[in-house]
């Protein structure tokens, strides 16, 4: 059996502006992950997907154990398997006899990269099972193919940070920069409980940009300046400086029109409880907020966020240690 895993992610700085060619910084989130296993099926059975432990919206259908030949066209998990196998030279028919089991603890439609993580875990498990070495760059490219099918015009930051499993400084179309985090720092990550459809929010921003190009370009430039300053601070190990930069990024996101009262309530609670800075993360209008905290304040800020209505609170330590995301057990 072969296993592949992938972490969640948050965008630390630069969402939306990244779609318009500006830089952004994203980091992996420990403690939540997607996991896929691949094992041999009975001869002639073809490929079966088992996803009973996957949140409903990620499955794309009602049943949770089914052969891919019976899946409706566009079933998201089948798309991932097909893109992965085709890249690895397993052109079907004949279908290989495999059972692929998928699970995930990453909340969906909240900006934590659940779709990209599920795709990455499946592709890693298939690659390990087939002895097909895949670089993070190739994994990222395959997951980007999937993202393009389901998310319209993604910038590519989700697949990049998840496939590399390291903090990244990302500019669309440029080689990825793995960010050296000189001093690790802590984030508290809180769910507003409001679902957010990235595709819709990105479309709305584009509509506003089309009408008010000059203003929106200036806002994107303002965000880019914040992202560059944040990169410098991370490289120098001056992580406390990220707090005011997060607040500045949030103010610019509010001007873009992607914030929401439910998010701002959480941001106020985090800052009042001692967070050094806080902002929404991802597409906005719902989803998660992130707060920069001293280690000793993780619990007090988390509690304040719960009192302010957060439906789930996580924390993560941002550092630059890579993890592999694949393992092989008694490969068959
Ligand atoms: O909600 P998420 O985490 O998928 O983030 C969307 C980030 C955007 O910049 C708004 C879109 C993108 O493709 O980068």
pTM of the model: 0.92
Residue 185's alpha-carbon distances to 32, 293, 295, in angstroms, are: 18, 8, 8
The angle that helices 136-151 and 114-129 make with each other, rounded to 10 degrees, is 130
| CATH topology assigned to domain 185-318 | Alpha-Beta Plaits (3.30.70)
Q: Is 191 a catalytic residue?
A: no
Nearest to 124 by CA among 75, 88, 70: 88
111: confidence class by pLDDT, cuts 50, 70, 90: confident
Give CA–CA dist 134/44, Å, rounded: 27
Domain range annotation of the chain: 2-178, 185-318
pLDDT for residue 329 is more than 50: no
Catalytic residue among 30, 97, 131, 158: 158
Residue 7 in this model has a pLDDT that exceeds 60: yes
The confidence band for 60, taking pLDDT boundaries of 50, 70 and 90, is very low
Question: What ligand 1 atom has the least distance to the C-alpha of 11?
Answer: 3
Closest ligand 1 atom to 110 CA: 1
Largest CA distance in the chain: 61
Handedness of CA 258, 263, 265, 268 (dihedral sign): negative
Quick one: average pLDDT of 81-92?
Answer: 90
Do domains 2-178 and 185-318 share one topology? The answer is no
Instruction: Provide the CATH topology of domain 2-178.
Output: Ribosomal Protein S5; domain 2 (3.30.230)
Please give all residues whose beta carbon lies within 6 A of any atom in ligand 1, as ranges.
Answer: 11, 15-16, 18-19, 111, 113, 154-155, 157-158, 198, 202, 282-283
């Amino acid at each position: 059996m072969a296993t592949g895993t992938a972490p969640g992610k948050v965008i630390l700085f630069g969402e939306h502006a990244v779609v318009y060619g500006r830089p952004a910084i994203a980091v992996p989130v420990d403690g939540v992950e997607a996991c896929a296993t691949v094992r041999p099926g009975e001869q002639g059975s073809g490929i079966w997907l088992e996803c009973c432990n996957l949140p409903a919206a990620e499955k794309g259908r009602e049943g949770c154990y089914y052969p891919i030949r019976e899946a409706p066209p566009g079933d998201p998990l089948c798309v991932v398997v097909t893109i992965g196998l085709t890249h690895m030279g397993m052109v079907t028919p004949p279908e290989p006899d495999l059972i692929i089991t998928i699970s995930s603890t990453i909340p969906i439609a909240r900006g934590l990269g659940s779709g990209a993580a599920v795709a990455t875990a499946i592709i890693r498990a298939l690659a390990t099972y087939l002895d097909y070495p895949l670089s993070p760059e190739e994994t990222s490219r395959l997951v980007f193919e999937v993202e393009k099918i389901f998310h319209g015009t993604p910038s590519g930051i989700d697949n990049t940070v998840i496939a590399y499993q390291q903090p990244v400084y990302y500019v669309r179309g440029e080689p990825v920069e793995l960010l050296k985090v000189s001093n690790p720092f802590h984030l508290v990550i809180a769910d507003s409980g409001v679902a957010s459809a990235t595709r819709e929010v990105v479309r709305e921003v584009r509509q506003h940009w089309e009408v008010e190009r000059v203003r929106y370009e200036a806002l994107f430039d303002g965000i880019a300046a914040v992202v560059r300053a944040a990169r410098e601070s991370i490289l120098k190990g001056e992580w406390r400086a990220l707090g005011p930069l997060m607040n500045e990024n949030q103010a610019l996101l509010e001007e873009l029109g992607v914030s929401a009262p439910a998010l701002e309530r959480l941001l106020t609670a985090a800052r009042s409880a001692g967070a050094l800075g806080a902002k929404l993360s991802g597409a906005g209008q719902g989803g998660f907020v992130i707060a920069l905290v001293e280690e000793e304040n993780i619990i007090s800020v988390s509690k304040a966020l719960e009192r302010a209505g957060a439906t789930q609170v996580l924390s993560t330590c941002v550092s630059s240690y890579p993890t592999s995301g694949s393992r092989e057990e008694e490969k068959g």
